[in-house]
Structure 1
Amino acid sequence: MSGLSFDLLVIGDANPDVVVGPVTGIEFGQREQLVEHGRLVLGGSAAIMACGAARLGLRVAFAGRVGDDPAGAFVRQALAARGVDVGHLVVDPQLPTPLTAIVTAGDGDRAILTSPGCLAATGPEDVPAELLAAARHVHSASFFLMPRLASLLADVFAEARAHGATTSLDTNDDPAGRWDRALLEPVLKVTDVLLPNAAEARALSGEAQLADAATALARHGPTVVVKDGARGALACEGTRLLRTGAVPVEPVDAVGAGDSFDAGFVAARLRGLGLHTSLALAVACGSLSTRDHGGTAAQPTWEQACAVADPKGTR
């Protein structure tokens, strides 16, 4: 690998998640409600993806920002314990670590409440040039939560590509609901793989039909890989469309499943696998990750994902 230190550099958000539920509704008025489960776990789309990729055997580094507080120490320790290099994780001396509360419903849906803390301060200066030069692939997540980084992410990706790396992006949700295409389009031109879920693909493209949404986004340059929940996934490469069904599991918690999907797809592509097989392995990783609470507890190994992936089932 020509002396490269990492298979994957992940850029983005990392925070503690407090996951509670299931509930059928939230009651205000100082009413106390009891729930079946409550967990303090590692959260943040980028952090969960990084852990999933490390679990799959990749050498992973993380670039981002946390606060100088117990929550930041928790994030650093949790990433490192899962094999992710945190040597370049910036500690903000003034702003706190982001915090997220996730309230789950019995039907698999969830509400996500995030205090952004130092996310808005995260910028391209938090991604050292030596890391961009040392990675085979660069992935960024939670695009709309980090406006300073988003405005210059095209430059970051272009630099990574100049060093020979490939790139991927999972925008995640836009809490403001603007889905700023003018901000995103320059990034798509230097993105090899775009990894939205179905709702995000529709919002980013303005297309109601999922195949049309994927095709429209692919016109900007990237291979578009769309996570479609219990229906599996859809990929669009140029004008070529592929679909695959979900892996049957008894889900416990879907938090972070899309991020584990991202890890599976990137790991498969870095192993030189084709689009059909990579899509099947990504679905396997996302599905298997739902077997326990939180985003990282049930992330599969490469061998576990391969054992349940069915590339013959893609079409």
Structure 2
Amino acid sequence: MIIVPGSINADLLFPVRELPAPGETVLCPSYTMAPGGKGANQAAAAAKAGARVHFVGHVGKDAYGPVVRGLLAEAGVDVAGLIDSDRPTAIAVIGVDQKGENQIIVASGANLDTHAGQVPQALLVPGNTLLCQNEIRTEESFAALKLAHEHGVRTILNLAPAAPVPNDVLDRLDLLVVNELEAQAAAGGQGAPDELATGLARRHGLTVVVTLGAKGAIAADGERLLQVQALPVDPVDTTGAGDAFTGVLAAYLDRGAGLDLALHRAAVGAALACERLGAQSAQPGLAEIEARAAALPMPGKVG
């Protein structure tokens, strides 16, 4: 089982011809409301990829709360740990241009109430996985990871948005998932993605996966460096692709897959999520991932 203490949002999606420059106003004919939040997105992606998932978080007592709760449950996620807050449900305003690129503003709202103490002790057992991001209070994500490590639970951190990570947190991680900017934040310096991944893996005894967008992803476990390409697709919206990658990766690892297979299927899942509009609404299911998997070569060793 995967436990996800994390953020849950209502995403307001605005399809625009071009993203606005600073000080510029752009018009579009309509908008769409869709479920989002990195925590909820990754929980939904993992559930659709076949994992049992328990979500821990908060929504407001407003009109958005029941909607995003219901949609997360429809994705197959256990939402018994999703609590009502006096703060409003978190909202993300997302502009998406004709190339699939986006700009995002998030109002955290009820996500600020989520804390490590909400994680059920009964689920903190060896064989389970705790998956965290950086959209609830950072100290609460770090506290949940430390608690899970103490109980022998696999610990995964997707450091998004980017922020520094204390060494004692990195030392307790089994897996760190980052993009290139987040890798620099975790390492505390600049460098090539493969160098940063290898250095972090060796210093802290963990596996580091760096996503590279259209170039795929690399993974370092201290002994080897793997690279997987991206599945070629015609992108409609890249929103949530990284969350799909992380959720699918966690799902395959939680079910006992090796790093090679999990990395490969995560790359497939992330690419397929770009073929439709939205975050959770665009995520592929297990059958779709497996059906398209043969079109992407398995990861290969670098060096």
TM-score normalised to structure 2 length: 0.90
Q: Counterpart in 1 of 2:158?
A: 170
CA contact (8 A) 1:49 1:260 kept: yes
CA contact (8 A) 1:235 1:243 kept: yes
Q: Distance in 1 between matches of 2:35 and 2:27?
A: 24
Q: Distance in 2 between matches of 1:272 and 1:91?
A: 34
Match of 1:262 among 223, 246, 251: 246
Q: Distance in 1 between matches of 2:143 and 2:107?
A: 27
Amino acid at match of 1:268: Y
Percent identity reads 34
Q: Distance in 2 between matches of 1:49 and 1:8?
A: 10
Q: CA deviation at 1:163?
A: 3.6
Amino acid at match of 1:59: R
Computed over aligned residues only, the root mean square deviation of the Cα atoms, in angstroms, reads 2.3
CA contact (8 A) 1:280 1:314 kept: no
Cα distance change on mapping 1:273 and 1:128 into 2, 3 Å: closer
CA contact (8 A) 2:131 2:156 kept: yes
Question: Does 2:192 correspond to 1:204?
Answer: no
- The equivalences for 1:148-159 within 5 A come to 150-159=138-147
Question: Does 2:140 correspond to 1:146?
Answer: no
Deviation sequence 1:84-129 (CA, Å, 0-9, x none) = 111111211x211110001123333211111111223322223232
Deviation sequence 1:262-310 (CA, Å, 0-9, x none) = 1221122123222222111110010111111111223222232123334
Amino acid at match of 1:280: H
Match of 1:77 among 63, 67, 70: 70
Cα distance change on mapping 1:235 and 1:68 into 2, 3 Å: same
Q: CA deviation at 1:220?
A: 2.0
Cα distance change on mapping 1:181 and 1:50 into 2, 3 Å: closer
Q: Counterpart in 2 of 1:251?
A: 235
Q: Distance in 1 between matches of 2:156 and 2:58?
A: 20
Q: Distance in 1 between matches of 2:150 and 2:168?
A: 16
CA contact (8 A) 2:99 2:235 kept: no
Q: Distance in 2 between matches of 1:69 and 1:194?
A: 34
CA contact (8 A) 1:284 1:308 kept: yes
Match of 1:214 among 197, 217, 228: 197
Match of 2:173 among 191, 198, 213: 191
Question: Does 2:92 correspond to 1:100?
Answer: yes
Match of 2:259 among 269, 275, 279: 275
CA contact (8 A) 2:19 2:95 kept: no
Q: Counterpart in 2 of 1:45?
A: 38
Q: CA deviation at 1:181?
A: 3.5
Gaps of 5+ in 2: none
Amino acid at match of 1:255: T
Deviates further, 236-245 or 123-132: 123-132
Question: Does 2:222 correspond to 1:235?
Answer: no
Q: How many residues align?
A: 297
Q: CA deviation at 1:227?
A: 1.1
Deviation sequence 1:163-202 (CA, Å, 0-9, x none) = 432110112124xxxx3333xx322211111111122112
Q: CA deviation at 1:134?
A: 8.9
Q: Counterpart in 2 of 1:60?
A: 53
Q: Counterpart in 2 of 1:132?
A: 124
Question: Does 2:3 correspond to 1:13?
Answer: no
Q: CA deviation at 1:233?
A: 0.5
CA contact (8 A) 1:49 1:259 kept: yes
3-state DSSP of counterpart to 1:88: strand
Q: Distance in 1 between matches of 2:284 and 2:126?
A: 26
Match of 1:112 among 91, 104, 108: 104
CA contact (8 A) 1:245 1:314 kept: no
Q: CA deviation at 1:22?
A: 3.0
Q: Which has the higher contact order (CA 8 A, sep 6+)?
A: 2
Cα distance change on mapping 1:250 and 1:158 into 2, 3 Å: same
Question: Does 2:268 correspond to 1:284?
Answer: yes
Q: CA deviation at 1:135?
A: 7.0
Amino acid at match of 1:20: F
Amino acid at match of 1:223: T
